[in-house]
Structure 1
C-alpha cells in the first residue's frame, strides 16, 4: 500500500508542471493539458466517446484546455486508473460502474439484474434526476461524475439449447465473473455459477467443462465464443452503465467557467458514444447470425425478474432499495 501511495505521489508531482505551466497560446494564456485513461482499444465506442469529449473541450476553450486520451490501458488498468484519479495522478478515466461501486456503494442500485425494462428506460433514468444524483454522489469520494456511456446489455449463451424460461437454465454450468452479484444472479435462476478467467472460457465451452456464459453482442463475437456456443438467448439480464469521472483535485484547480465547459462537453459526447455502441452491436450481431448462431428473444422477463427477489434482499441496503424503487417507477 505504501509503495502504491509513493508511486501515485510521484505521478502527481510529474504531471503538476504540465497543469501549471503548459504552453503559451496566442492569447498569452497558459494551455492546460489533462489526461484521460481508457482500458479499451483504439476505435472502441467508449474511446470514440472520449475523443469527442476531448475535441469539444478543445473547441469550447479555443485550445486552451487540451485533453489527451490514452486508450488500451496505457496509463493504468481500470481499478488502478480509478485510484489514480482519486489521488489526482490521472485527471479523467472512463470506467464501468461495477469496479466504481467499490468506491461508491450506492452505484450498486444502478446495476441490479432485470432492473431496466429496456434501453429507453435506462437512459430515462440515467439522463434524469436520478442519474444526476448518482453522478453528484461521486464527489464525496474524491471524484466528479461527468456522464454515462453505453455498454449494452448482457444475455446468456450456451452449447445446449435456446433459453426461453427459467426452467431451461436449471442445472446449467454458467461461467460468471468473480462477483457476488453475478454468482447470485445465476444461482437464483437455478443454474450453477462457475467463476472462471475470461481467457479460459472458449476451451471450457468447447470441452464441456461449462455449458454456457453471458455477455453482450460484441464480446460474444470478439471472443469467438459463438463458434462453440451457438445458442444466444436475449434476456438482457444486466445493463451496466459506463461513466467518465474526473479527479476532484483536478477540477478544483479549474475556474467555475472551465468546470462548466468540461461538464457540458462530457454530456454532449454521450450521443456520439451511444451511436458508436449501437453500430458496434449491429455489426457483431450480423456476424454471429451469418456464422450460424441460433438467436432467440425472451419476450417476457417477469419470471426471470421475480426470481431475483432474494438477491435484491441480500445485496442491497435500505437506501439502495429505495433507489431501486424510484428507478423502477421511471416511465
Structure 2
C-alpha cells in the first residue's frame, strides 16, 4: 500500500456521520483474521455490541472477519499508521513491533489457564498495555487463546525424547523454532495453509496447535497422535490505533476499554465450549491422546531458550512466575 493511500485512509479513519436526529455517530473498524463463527470473532462482536449499547448508538464498531482488511502483520501496520482503528491479533506478530511481548509466548510459562489470566488482568497486563503506546498502539483487551499441543503422524509422544527427529511445523518465529529444536525435533517453518497436505505427503511429521484448530483444519485425520503438553498459551489481544483513538474523549476511551473487559467472560465461555466439542470429535475418531502430567522434563529442555532472552524478557518471566 502506498504512503498516499495510507494517509488517505488515516484521514478518513474515524468516520463521523450525522444521524437523522443530528447526533454524531463515530464509526470505527476492527480487523479480524478468523472467520465469523470463531470464538474470538464472536468476542469481537460482543465487544462492539457493548460499545454501541453503552454509548447509546453514538459509537459503532464494525467487525471485519476473515482477513477482509488484510493478514495480521499488515493489519498491525495499518493500525499503527491509523488506517484501521482496531485489530484482534495473536501476540506472536505483535512481538515484532513490541519485543517485550515475546515473554508471553515462551513455552511452559504458565502453570495453567487461571495463572495466565491472573497475569493478563493484573499489574503485569496493565504494564504491557502501557508498553504498546510508544509504538503507536493502545491496549484494549485480552481474549482466551487456548493451549497449544503437539500432534504427529508417527507415534505417541509422552516425553521430550519421543519427539527426537520428528519434523514439526512451526510458525515463522525464532521462539517457536527454538522451542522445537530444544525438544530434539526438527523445526520446519511453513505457512499454515500448507500443513494438511504436508502431513498427508510426509513432508512433515507433525505440528502444534489447540484443540479447535487441530479439529477444524482436519489435521486430526492425518496426524492421529495428540499430546496434551500445553506448551504455550499465546494470548489474543485487541489493540487500538493511538492516532484514531486520540480523537476520542477520555470518557469514550474508558467506555471502550470497559466494554472489552466485559466481553472477556463471553469469549472465554465460547472458547471452552468450542474446545470441548473439538476434543469430543477427535476422541470419537479414535485418535491417541497422551496427557502430560509432569512437565518438569519439558521445562528443563527450554533452559537454553530462556537464557538467551533479553534481560527485560527474563525479568518479566520471573515476575510472571511469582504471580499466585
Indicate the TM-score class for this superposition, using the shorter chain for normalisation.
over 0.9
Please say if 1:120 is aligned against 2:111: no
Query: What's 1:322 paired with?
Result: 315
Inter-CA distance 77–201: structure 2 relative to 1 (3 Å threshold): closer
Query: What's 2:28 paired with?
Result: 34
Please say if 1:7 is aligned against 2:5: yes
Q: Offset at 1:157?
A: 0.7
Please list the CA deviations of residues 3-52 of structure 1 after superposition, one character each: whole Å capped at 9, or x if unmatched: 53222112223445x23xx12363x4311111111111111111111111
The separation in 2 between residues aligned to 1:210 and 1:84, in whole angstroms, is 34
Task: Decide which of 176, 180, 184 is 2:178's aligned counterpart.
Answer: 184
Following superposition, which runs of at least 4 residues in structure 1 exceed 6 angstroms of deviation? Answer: none
Please list the CA deviations of residues 192-230 of structure 1 after superposition, one character each: whole Å capped at 9, or x if unmatched: 112223233223222333221111111111121111111
Matched residue pairs, number?
Answer: 324
SS class of match (2:24)? coil
The separation in 2 between residues aligned to 1:142 and 1:209, in whole angstroms, is 40
The separation in 2 between residues aligned to 1:125 and 1:189, in whole angstroms, is 26
TM-score (norm 1): 0.95
The separation in 1 between residues aligned to 2:189 and 2:162, in whole angstroms, is 20
Query: What's 2:140 paired with?
Result: 146
Preserved contact between residue 13 and residue 85 of structure 2 (Cα < 8 Å):
no
Preserved contact between residue 25 and residue 31 of structure 1 (Cα < 8 Å):
no
Please say if 1:111 is aligned against 2:109: no
Query: What's 2:90 paired with?
Result: 96
Please say if 1:23 is aligned against 2:18: yes
Query: What's 2:69 paired with?
Result: 75
The separation in 2 between residues aligned to 1:75 and 1:254, in whole angstroms, is 23
SS class of match (1:213)? strand
The separation in 2 between residues aligned to 1:200 and 1:133, in whole angstroms, is 37
SS class of match (1:31)? strand
SS class of match (1:235)? strand
The separation in 1 between residues aligned to 2:177 and 2:239, in whole angstroms, is 28
Q: Offset at 1:252?
A: 1.1
Segments of 5+ residues of structure 1 without an aligned counterpart are none
Segments of 5+ residues of structure 2 without an aligned counterpart are none
TM-score (norm 2): 0.97
Q: Which stretch has the larger CA shift, 190-199 or 221-230?
A: 190-199
Q: Which stretch has the larger CA shift, 247-256 or 3-12?
A: 3-12
SS class of match (2:57)? coil
Preserved contact between residue 227 and residue 289 of structure 2 (Cα < 8 Å):
yes
Query: What's 2:262 paired with?
Result: 268
Matches within 5 A, 1:297-308: 297-308=291-302
Query: What's 1:231 paired with?
Result: 225
SS class of match (2:293)? coil
Task: Decide which of 254, 257, 260 is 2:251's aligned counterpart.
Answer: 257
